[in-house]
Structure 1
């Protein structure tokens, strides 16, 4: 899969080789949930059937972050690197990452079509029913179809519904905020996961019999509900381990921490993880974080958490 970062106005694309006719799925695609997947799969299927390149256009950073519309968009379900991994798994040939800045935000819908899509040789654009584009979101999916004319087909994908709700990034965020990773997995098609590097923490876990890896996140991920989770961890060598993770402020040992930390105890792992990359997949919420009256009480609770997590994760072995 080829990844090309582009800016408005387009320039320098001749250095990337000949531009070939393509289908293009367009959207931000945070989370690459099942609704997004239906858009991308349509573009890929058409490309394969018609002998075209299968492409995706996404925007970075999130338009709402640049335009200051909503603090929740300072965090992501899938930071760019994770999003690209998901595109690759969907058999996309090429990804255009458009730098979203105030200059691009001021581009009219017509200029977006004539100065971005046509030079990229887009023969078929695929968008979701709620797609918007151009300055102040003036362009809608039907607008794109009108502007495309006869030389560019536009497929508008209807919403994907689940239990009466439209599958959306917002719904995934709500599930994670509510401590419902199973629901998030149903919406995403895979467990919600995050990636990070193991760094030195306080070292307290080893002294109480449950050594933990302190995770420094590789991106501005959405933070799930604070508490204890049954998780699966994939190490940089591809090995997978089940475990129990706490995301929180460790109230038994601290009156307050400036931000939540993530610590994972991997079952049956022996070795040194410092400096290594790990991907954590959230499988099940076990309990809320709480302050314990003593360290011994905490140790007993961790033991109970570990037993419950092993039971929940037995199917993932």
Structure 2
């Protein structure tokens, strides 16, 4: 992380954009190991050129633009993605608005106008399967073929496999939907996390001896409903304070079977967190959500869940996503 991580948008004046930079280009949902290979290639190229390295990414995710009525389980929202990118050593990120105009821009126009004229890049790193431009005609091979004429360096990174399984955002979404936290963590290169503000709930937890910090996740979150060992961060950068805890994500079938809610119990914490913004990193899956016949049985299970969560967290000391600070 650098404190001066820059975020360049379509509205940023051209004079404020450093020229000659090297860029890593992609959607970067989750900033997983495959994305990190592209970023590392850009960082290495930047060091060789004596130039800063930036990410080039798109918001909203192109899938949301092309299929606005289809649920989109994003691994990271824009802010989360930028914080992960800021933790990689990149000098900044170029966030390009993905709208009708950009969707209709040809690959050649995108290269010449956006990459060469506006950003003035000296090099670019992409993944083997990244496509861009109208009709997804732009490809790594097109960049490679254009590189000599444009005077830029191009690095194309191959796919990354773990246990003979390709790393991808889709594979991580599937792992999270199945509660396979270890698999998701391996592909991400660190724990998956969510960020949200603590809201008021029914306050049943305090009566049970388990007061919780409640966070409403995105309605399209595809995480398997159940109980998790979590590590929680409050604040950013060096000022962040972390806590271990156990969390329930689900509909509370014992009580109201309502809308999905993330309820986090922090171990060894006393205080008021209402309105606080928290990062919640998922370290391990404990069990599926269950309905209990009585409160006593529920509390016994919560005691067991807490013990199992403490054991999972003790086996993963310090595990937390590497997040940088953004303005």
TM-score between the two structures when normalised by the length of structure 1: 0.92
**What is the CA deviation profile of residues 29-56 of structure 1, one whole-angstrom value per residue up to 9, with x for unaligned ones?**
1000011000011101110121112111
**Aligned partner of 1:2 among 2, 6, 24:** 6
- SS at 1:307 equivalent: helix
Contact (CA 8 Å) 2:233, 2:240: kept in 1 or not?
A: yes
- What CA distance in whole angstroms lies between the structure 1 residues aligned with 2:220 and 2:197? 14
CA distance in structure 1 between the aligned counterparts of 2:272 and 2:206, rounded to whole angstroms = 12
RMSD: 1.8
SS of the aligned residue for 1:64 comes to: helix
Whole-angstrom CA distance in 1 between matches of 2:219 and 2:47? 35
Q: 3-state SS of the aligned residue for 2:248?
A: strand
The one-character-per-residue Cα deviations of 1:254-293 (angstroms, maximum 9, x if unpaired) are: 1x32x31010111111111111111111011111001111
Give the alignment of 1:250-269 within 5 angstroms.
Answer: 250-254=252-256, 256-257=257-258, 259-269=259-269
Shift, 1:307, TM fit: 1.3
| Counterpart check, 1:82 vs 2:80 | yes
Cα pair 1:33 1:168 within 8 Å, conserved: yes
SS at match of 1:121: coil
The 5-angstrom pairing of residues 239-254 of structure 1 reads 239-254=241-256
Flag the structure with more relative contact order, 1 or 2, with Cα contacts below 8 A and sequence separation at least 6.
2
The aligned residue for residue 107 of structure 1 is: 105
**Kept in 1: contact 2:73–2:173 (CA 8 A):** no
Matches of 1:158 and 1:106 in 2, distance apart? 28
Aligned partners of 2:250 and 2:261 also within 8 Å? yes
Runs of 4+ with >6 A deviation: none
Partner Cα distance (1:299, 1:87) in 2? 40
Are the equivalent residues in 1 in contact too, given 2:216–2:260 (CA < 8 A)? no
Separation (CA, whole Å) in 1 of partners of 2:50 and 2:241: 38
**93, 96, 99: which is aligned to 1:95?**
93
Segment of structure 1 superposing worse, 87-96 or 182-191: 87-96
Q: CA deviation at 1:145?
A: 2.0
Quote the offset at 1:149 in angstroms: 3.8
Query: Per-residue deviation at 1:60?
Result: 0.2
Q: Distance in 2 between matches of 1:268 and 1:138?
A: 55
- Residue 110 of structure 1: CA displacement? 0.7
Unaligned runs of 5+ in 2: 319-327
Q: Is the 8 A contact 2:23 2:56 kept in 1?
A: yes
Measure how far apart 1:238 and its partner are: 2.1
Counterpart in the other structure of 2:64:
65
Deviation at 1:223, TM superposition (A): 3.5
What secondary structure does 1:272 align onto?
coil
Deviation readout 1:231-257 (Å, 9 max, x if unpaired): 111123522211110000001111x32
CA contact (8 A) 2:160 2:166 kept: yes
Question: 1:69: how far off?
Answer: 7.3
Q: Is the 8 A contact 2:105 2:133 kept in 1?
A: yes
Q: Is 1:300 paired with 2:311? A: no
Distance 2:88 2:314 in 1: 28
Instruction: Give 1 or 2: higher strand fraction.
Output: 1
Which is worse superposed, 40-49 or 233-242? Answer: 233-242
Cα distance in 1, alignment partners of residues 195 and 104 from structure 2: 34
Please, which moves more after superposition, 199-208 or 229-238?
Answer: 229-238
Q: How many residue pairs were aligned?
A: 308
Contact 1:173 1:222 in 2 (8 A): no
